[in-house]
C-alpha cells in the first residue's frame, strides 16, 4: 500500500467520489447511491462502507451488509476501483481489509455475488485468486444468459 494511501470507513464527503467510481466502473447508476448508503450514514443499518483513499481522494470503495436470517454471514454487494487505478493490488487490499475487519468482529463467512457472463470472467478470477470458492450458480438469474455466481470464503 502506498504510504499516502489508506483504507477507512466512508464519510459523507466521499459520496461524490464514490458516485464517480460507480459510474466509471458501471457497478450501478450513481443516482442510486444516496438511497443505498442512507442507512449507513444515519446509523440505522449495520452496513459497512469503506474507501481506499489516495492523497485524500477515494479511488476505490466497497459495500457489505449482513445476510438476513444468518449468524455471522456477510455479503459484499459492491467493490469498485477507479479504472485509472485498476491492476495495482487495490482490490486485493480492500478485500483483506474487509475480511480482517469482519473476522476481528467474530463474523464467520463472506459471500460475493457476480454475473456468470464472459465479460465478468476477470472479476470471477479475482475472487478465486483471493481464496473464494464458487459455491453456487443460479442459472438465468439476472436475465437470459446471465447466471448469478456466488463465491464463499470462511473468515
pLDDT tens per residue, range 27-38: 899 999 999 999
Which pLDDT tens digit goes with each residue over 57-114? 999 999 999 999 999 999 999 999 999 999 999 999 999 999 999 999 999 999 999 9
Predicted confidence (pLDDT) at residue 4 exceeds the cutoff of 70: no
Task: Please classify residue 84 by burial: count the beta carbons closer than 10 Å to its beta carbon, then call 0-12 exposed, 13-18 middle and 19+ buried.
Answer: exposed
Which residue spans of the chain are classified as CATH 3.40.630.30? 1-107
Written as nine digits, the cell of 86 is 485498476
DSSP 67: P
pTM for this entry:
0.92
Question: What would the CATH number be for the domain defined by 1-107?
Answer: 3.40.630.30
Amino acid at each position: 500500500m502506498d504510504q499516502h494511501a489508506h483504507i477507512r470507513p466512508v464519510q459523507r464527503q466521499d459520496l461524490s467520489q464514490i458516485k464517480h467510481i460507480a459510474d466509471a466502473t458501471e457497478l450501478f447508476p450513481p443516482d442510486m447511491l444516496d438511497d443505498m448508503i442512507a442507512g449507513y450514514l444515519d446509523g440505522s443499518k449495520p452496513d459497512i462502507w469503506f474507501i481506499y483513499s489516495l492523497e485524500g481522494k477515494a479511488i476505490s470503495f466497497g459495500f457489505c451488509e449482513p445476510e438476513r436470517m444468518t449468524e455471522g454471514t456477510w455479503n459484499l454487494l459492491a467493490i469498485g476501483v477507479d479504472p485509472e487505478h485498476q491492476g495495482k493490488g487495490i482490490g486485493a487490499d480492500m478485500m483483506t481489509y474487509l475480511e480482517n475487519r469482519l473476522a476481528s468482529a467474530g463474523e464467520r463467512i463472506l459471500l460475493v455475488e457476480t454475473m456468470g457472463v464472459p465479460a465478468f470472467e476477470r472479476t470471477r478470477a479475482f475472487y478465486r485468486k483471493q481464496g473464494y470458492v464458487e459455491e453456487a450458480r443460479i442459472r438465468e438469474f439476472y436475465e437470459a444468459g446471465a447466471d448469478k455466481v456466488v463465491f464463499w470464503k470462511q473468515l
